[in-house]
Amino acid sequence: MKPKIAIIVCGLSENRQFVTNSYVQAVRYSGGLPLIIPLVKSNVAIHEYISLCDGFLFCGGGDITPLLFGQEPVDKLGETNITLDIFQLRFMRHVLLSGKPVLAICRGMQLLNVACNGTVCQDISIKVKDSINHMQRSFSRKDISHKVTVKSGTHLHRIIGNIVYTNSYHHQTIDRLGKGLISCAHTSDGIIEGIELTDHSFSIGVQWHPEAMYRSTPVMRRLFSSFIHASRLADE
């Protein structure tokens, strides 16, 4: 039986909740059964979803409300939605307590960090004055933008190796790492591009968008396949 993969709602728009199709397809082509999880306010419902599903995918999206990691907003902060933020943080914390596999992408990686009591730098220019461009402008989201170096001995390194070339669509970055997290990948300007929980079977966050590169890049397919495999083991 295929492992059931919860894709947590990416965003809200008026009366709609949505998930970008590329996440659904990446899960499906990797052998998982994608289930879209809506925003719910009931902890009982959250626990039922966690019990039902084998792995959990947290997607990209807008900025996280700074008050949720103890900061005031700065001028370069992008669009936020505190209702979505609170739900996703609550869901993430419950998932981490369950011990089930987590793959967190872009905003999802930052959410994982905040859920572990870390912080987010609200704009890269605050942290690194002469950074490379992390918000690419290219014809396709699958186009590569920069090099990422992966730390030897980490879970992410075992999956994708030493060097990977990725796309890049973010203006924020990890600041203080959350409890139990380590940095496992970075760019040449020192920006964190990957994090993982050291005491968790599979809890990896990446700052790039592997779902957008899934069809064109074998290493991104390996990342999703590893996540699905870990989720299948969680179901046994």
Stretch 49-55: mean pLDDT: 98
Digit-coded pLDDT (tens) for 19-32 = 999 999 999 999 99
**Residue 209 bears catalytic tag:** yes
pLDDT over threshold 80, residue 236: no
Stretch 115-136: mean pLDDT: 92
Whole-model pTM? 0.96
Amino acid 167: pLDDT? 93
Q: Which of 134, 146, 170, 209 is catalytic?
A: 209
- What percentage of the chain has pLDDT greater than the value 90? 89
Q: C-alpha angle 28/164/22, rounded to 5°?
A: 25
Q: Which of 106, 116, 121, 184 is catalytic?
A: 106
Confidence class of residue 13 from pLDDT cuts 50, 70 and 90? confident
Q: Which of 134, 170, 193, 211 is catalytic?
A: 211
pLDDT over threshold 80, residue 235: no
Digit-coded pLDDT (tens) for 100-117 = 999 999 999 999 999 999
Amino acid 81: pLDDT? 95
Dihedral sign from CA coordinates of 206, 212, 218, 223 = positive
Amino acid 135: pLDDT? 86
3-state per-residue secondary structure call for the chain: CCCEEEEECCEEECCEEECCHHHHHHHHHCCCEEEEECCCCCHHHHHHHHHHCCEEEECCCCECCHHHHCCCCCCCCCCECHHHHHHHHHHHHHHHHHCCCEEEECHHHHHHHHHCCCCEECCHHHHCCCCCCCECCCCCCCCCCEEEEECCCCHHHHHHCCEEEECCECCCEECCCCCCEEEEEECCCCCEEEEEECCCCCEEEECCCHHHHCCCCHHHHHHHHHHHHHHHHHCC
Amino acid 54: pLDDT? 98
Q: Which domains does the chain have, with CATH numbers?
A: 4-234 (3.40.50.880)
pLDDT over threshold 90, residue 63: yes
Amino acid 72: pLDDT? 97
**Residue 184 bears catalytic tag:** no
pLDDT over threshold 90, residue 190: yes
pLDDT over threshold 80, residue 143: yes
Q: 103 or 41, which is more confident? A: 103
**102-105 sheet: strands from edge to edge:** 33-37, 4-8, 55-58, 102-105, 203-206, 192-197, 181-186, 146-150, 163-166
pLDDT over threshold 90, residue 129: no
Digit-coded pLDDT (tens) for 206-226 = 999 999 999 999 999 999 999
Average pLDDT, the chain: 95
**Residue 106 bears catalytic tag:** yes
Amino acid 15: pLDDT? 87
Amino acid 206: pLDDT? 98
